[in-house]
């Protein structure tokens, strides 16, 4: 597979910004607490599914203080239609406890502190900061990984390496590029039956329609 040229990368950057400059996450949230939980739950689970789960969870546990005192089994019950719900329930309760104990009940909005929270890795931290603060960061989920490989932006075999490559190649507007690549991968450059001939506005830059998965 050929990699995109410098000129192609500039064009891809421009086209993504034209189409997705105002793109935001499809997860529903009203504050940083709800966003961290929604993003953590969305790992290997669809945003649509997460949006069905969170209203009742947030109604019952409206802030970190309530969640820190929650009964784990009750939280598991509320999120049991989400993948890996047992682990995620333990993580979000432990996350809330740490935010109460260490950060005075305020979700920290920098990567160094966010990644110390249970269930929050670099990708989740970056997604939270991209969405909540507009930070110039990239996060690589399955959609971004697939799109970046199909467009010849990366040949890396892991999400973290792909993230570093995209940051180096794109440099600016990373928050909008992340959101755009997610939506483009979710609705147009899909894993199966991508809409190459009907909806794709980047077809001329496509190097392959093969599907890719990060190790």
Catalytic, 141? Answer yes
DSSP H helical ranges for 25-110: 32-41, 47-60, 64-68, 72-78, 85-103
The pair of structure tokens assigned to 188 is 């147009």
How far, CA to CA in Å, does 198 sit from each of 28, 172, 189, 193? 29, 29, 11, 11
Q: Is 113 a catalytic residue?
A: no
* Catalytic pick among 88, 141, 156, 169: 141
Among the listed residues 110, 105, 131, 113, the one whose alpha carbon sits nearest the alpha carbon of residue 39 = 131
Taking each helix axis from N to C terminus, what angle separates 142-150 and 159-170, rounded to the nearest 10 degrees?
Answer: 60
Active-site annotation holder among 6, 47, 76, 123: 123
Report how far residue 136's alpha carbon sits from residue 122's, in angstroms, rounded to the nearest whole number: 14
Which amino acids are annotated catalytic? 123, 141
């Amino acid at each position: 597979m050929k990699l995109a040229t410098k000129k192609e990368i500039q064009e891809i950057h421009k086209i993504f910004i034209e189409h997705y400059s105002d793109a935001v996450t499809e997860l529903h949230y009203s504050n940083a607490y709800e966003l961290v939980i929604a993003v953590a739950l969305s790992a290997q689970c669809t945003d649509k599914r997460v949006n069905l789960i969170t209203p009742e969870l947030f109604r019952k546990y409206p802030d970190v203080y309530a969640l820190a005192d929650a009964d784990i089994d009750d939280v598991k019950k509320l999120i049991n239609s989400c993948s890996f719900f047992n682990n995620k329930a333990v993580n979000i309760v432990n996350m809330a406890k740490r935010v109460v104990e260490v950060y005075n009940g305020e979700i920290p909005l920098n990567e160094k502190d966010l990644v110390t929270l249970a269930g929050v890795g670099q990708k989740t931290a970056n997604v939270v900061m991209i969405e909540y603060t507009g930070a110039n960061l990239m996060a690589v989920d399955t959609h971004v990984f697939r799109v970046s490989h199909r467009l010849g932006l990366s040949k890396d075999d892991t999400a973290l390496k792909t993230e570093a490559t995209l940051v180096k190649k794109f440099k600016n507007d990373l928050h909008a590029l992340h959101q755009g690549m997610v939506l483009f991968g979710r609705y147009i450059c899909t894993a199966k039956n991508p809409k190459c001939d009907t909806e794709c506005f980047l077809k001329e830059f496509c190097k392959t329609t093969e599907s890719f998965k990060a190790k």
